[in-house]
Structures are given as structure tokens and as C-alpha cells.
């Protein structure tokens, strides 16, 4: 039986229990999936206490980096981006990986897009590193708007074959110069760039679904560009987790459409 949960802090807004439980019920897989608020520095204590009976975990902030020191084995992709969102117990040992990278790529493909061309990423945290890894070997160039210079090395390691340019938070941005713009910052942090969005024809990917939609995403859509919201990323990284937890291959497009309807209903 899959005994699963999503861990992070805060966690009350998470749609992961709804999406996972809906999918397992539809697939007739015996499973339970809950949510636990686990703050930074408490992951190990949780796994030996309240979470001792769990065998499948989704991780959100602030635990994606902390999990590296917990896992018995770490996948190559998690090593590359120094982050993991998926802990799965095999023979009593925790295995860590990240489905954020492939989830991002699948979400783009589901909307008929990819990461080719010029990409702009807003933010420089764990999700930004996952996006960089997804762009590696695909994009022509990647520009990153970064407030924290000491994160630059980790971002370069996430995309070793990429031509990466770093921009300051106060930069004047011509969004029409990019084929794909990705916001990875929390809340409405990136709303300071709203006034710089004029007429656009390219794609904007908002990785957040809380708030839903963000001010930046709303503005992008109103000015003519395609906007992909964070619910898509949540769904596609979750489907990849479901395959890991269950050991089954899931028909992705059909599952994504069903979970999209369920997620939209919960958010509106």
C-alpha cells in the first residue's frame, strides 16, 4: 500500500492530497495521501516520529535541499540541481529524486510548447535550478533575474551546457525579446515587473498556483501572450511521482486533463 504525504511549511494550501488521492482512486490503487506541516530542520525528526509509517513523500519548500542529507540514495538529477521533491522508500531505504525537471518539460509539451530559443527565468531558488536543468541542451540562451549572487554557481551547475546570463533585480526587461519567460519567485514578488510587460506574443510560465492566477500571469495574458499557470507544473510533477510511488505507467494526457478539472474547481 502507498502510504504517502506532502511535507513542507506552510502546507495548508497544498492541492497535492486532492490530486494524488483523486488519481489513486481512479486508478484503483490502494493508497492514502495526507499533508503535514514540517518546518525547516525537522525532516529527520518527522521521519522517525509522526512519519515513521510513510513510504512515499512529496516535498515542497523548505525541505527540498534538506532532503539531500536525509536520503540513503540520491538521483543524478537531484545531485545536479541540489534539490529533491520526491522521497520513496525501497527496502527500508529512502531514495531521493526530483520530478520538477520533467514535470516542467511535460507541462510545456502539454500546452504545445518547449524551452527552445531564448529563456528568461525570474528567481534563483530550487525551482529555478530545476527549470535551468530542463533547459539544458534545449535552450539557446538562458537569462536569470537574480537577487542573490551567491546562488549563481549552483545555477550554472544545474545547466552545465547552457549559456547563462545573470541580470540584476533592478534591470529593465524587454520581455518581447524572449521566447519563454518563467517566474519562480513566491507570491507576487515578481509583480514589480508588471509595468514592463507591453505587447507580447511569447509564452509565460508561472510556477505558482497560490495566488491563482498571479498578477504577472494575468497581465501577460491580457497583453497577448500565452500564459501557463502553476497548476500545470503541480499536476505533471505529481503524475511523475505517482508513477514512482505506484510502479505503474500512467497515461499522462488523460490523467492531466482529469486532474486539471479537479484542481481548477478547488482553486475557483
Cα(38)–Cα(42) distance, integer angstroms: 6
Order of strands, sheet of 73-74, starting from the edge strand that comes earlier in the sequence? 31-37, 2-8, 56-59, 86-90, 93-97, 73-74
Q: For residues 42, 44, 47 and 48, what is the CA-based torsion angle, rounded to 10 degrees?
A: -110
Per-residue buried b or exposed e for 44-73, using 16+ beta carbons within 10 Å of the residue's own CB: eebbeeebeebbbbbbbbbbbbbbeebbee
Phi/psi at 180 (nearest 5 deg)? -145, 130
Cα(157)–Cα(90) distance, integer angstroms: 28
Catalytic site residues?
64
CA pseudo-torsion sign 49, 50, 54, 58: negative
Give the CB-side neighbour count of residue 258, counting CA atoms within 13 A. Answer: 18
Burial class (CB in 10 A: 0-12, 13-18, 19+), 157: middle
Amino acid at each position: 500500500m502507498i502510504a504517502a504525504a506532502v511535507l513542507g511549511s506552510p502546507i495548508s494550501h497544498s492541492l497535492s492530497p486532492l490530486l494524488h488521492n483523486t488519481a489513486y482512486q481512479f486508478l484503483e490503487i490502494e493508497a492514502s495521501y495526507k499533508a503535514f506541516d514540517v518546518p525547516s530542520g525537522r525532516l529527520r525528526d518527522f521521519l522517525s516520529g509522526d512519519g515513521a509509517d510513510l513510504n512515499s513523500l512529496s516535498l515542497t519548500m523548505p525541505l527540498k535541499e534538506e532532503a539531500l542529507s536525509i536520503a540513503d540514495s540520491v538521483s543524478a538529477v537531484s545531485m545536479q540541481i541540489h534539490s529533491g521533491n520526491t522521497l520513496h522508500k525501497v527496502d527500508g531505504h529512502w531514495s531521493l529524486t526530483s520530478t520538477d525537471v520533467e514535470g516542467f518539460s511535460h507541462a510545456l509539451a502539454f500546452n504545445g510548447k518547449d524551452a527552445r530559443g531564448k529563456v528568461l527565468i525570474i528567481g534563483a531558488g530550487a525551482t529555478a535550478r530545476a527549470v535551468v536543468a530542463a533547459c539544458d541542451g534545449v535552450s539557446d540562451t538562458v537569462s536569470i533575474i537574480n537577487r542573490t549572487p551567491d546562488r549563481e554557481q549552483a545555477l550554472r551547475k544545474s545547466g552545465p551546457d547552457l549559456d547563462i546570463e545573470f541580470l540584476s533585480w533592478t534591470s529593465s526587461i524587454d520581455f518581447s525579446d524572449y521566447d519563454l519567460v518563467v517566474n519562480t519567485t513566491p507570491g507576487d514578488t515578481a509583480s514589480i515587473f508588471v509595468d514592463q510587460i507591453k505587447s507580447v506574443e511569447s509564452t509565460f510560465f508561472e510556477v505558482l498556483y497560490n495566488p491563482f492566477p498571479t498578477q504577472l500571469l494575468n497581465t501577460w495574458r491580457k497583453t497577448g501572450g500565452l500564459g501557463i499557470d502553476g497548476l500545470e507544473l503541480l499536476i505533471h510533477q505529481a503524475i511523475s511521482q505517482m508513477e514512482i510511488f505506484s510502479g505503474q505507467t500512467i497515461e499522462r494526457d488523460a490523467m492531466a486533463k482529469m486532474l486539471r478539472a479537479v484542481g481548477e474547481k478547488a482553486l475557483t
